[in-house]
Amino acid sequence: MDTARKLKINCKPLDDLLGGGLEGGIITEFYGEAGSGKTNICIQATRECVLNGIGKVAYVDTESVSMERFIQICKGSYNKILSNTIFFKPSSFLEQEKIILGLPKVKNIGLVVVDTINMFYRIMMEDDEEGANRSLVRQLTSLQLLARKQNLYVIITSQVYTTENGDFRPFAGRGIEHMAKTIVKLERIGEGRRKAVIMKHRSQPEGREAVFYITKNGLE
Of 66, 31, 58, 217, the closest CA to residue 150 belongs to: 58
Minimum Å gap between C-beta 82 and ligand ATP is: 18
Asked if residue 216 binds ligand ATP (CB under 6 A), the reply is: yes
Nearer to ligand ATP, 53 or 190 (CB): 190
Q: Which stretch binds ligand ATP (CB under 6 A): 48-56, 90-98, 131-139, 210-218?
A: 210-218
- The footprint of ligand ATP on residues 27-46 (CB under 6 A) is 32, 34-40
Minimum Å gap between C-beta 66 and ligand ATP is: 8
Minimum Å gap between C-beta 123 and ligand ATP is: 15
Per-residue contact flags (x/-) with ligand ATP for residues 149 to 168, judged by CB under 6 A: ----------x---------
Of 154, 182, 186, the closest CA to residue 34 belongs to: 186
Which residues of the chain form contacts with Mg ion (CB under 5 A)? 38-39
Stated as kind and residue range, the H or E segment containing 214 is strand 209-215
Instruction: List beta partners, residue 114.
Output: 60, 156
Asked if residue 185 binds ligand ATP (CB under 6 A), the reply is: no
Nearer to ligand ATP, 69 or 138 (CB): 69
In whole angstroms, what is the distance from residue 154 CA to residue 144 CA? 8
- The footprint of ligand ATP on residues 188-207 (CB under 6 A) is 192
Q: Which stretch binds ligand ATP (CB under 6 A): 12-20, 145-153, 166-174, 211-219?
A: 211-219
* Residues near 117 by beta carbon (within 8 Å), at least 6 away in sequence: 29, 136, 139, 140, 156, 157, 158, 172, 176
Question: φ, ψ for residue 205 (rounded to 5)?
Answer: -65, 140
62 binds, options ligand ATP, Mg ion, none, Cβ within 5 to 8 A by partner type: none
* Residues near 214 by beta carbon (within 8 Å), at least 6 away in sequence: 37, 40, 192, 194
Cα-to-chain-centroid distance, residue 142: 15
- The footprint of ligand ATP on residues 107-146 (CB under 6 A) is none
Nearer to Mg ion, 25 or 194 (CB): 194
Nearer to ligand ATP, 38 or 181 (CB): 38
**Residue 78: Cβ-neighbour burial (10 angstroms; 0-12, 13-18, 19+):** middle
- What is the contact surface with ligand ATP in residues (CB under 6 A)? 32, 34-40, 63, 69, 72, 159, 192, 214-216
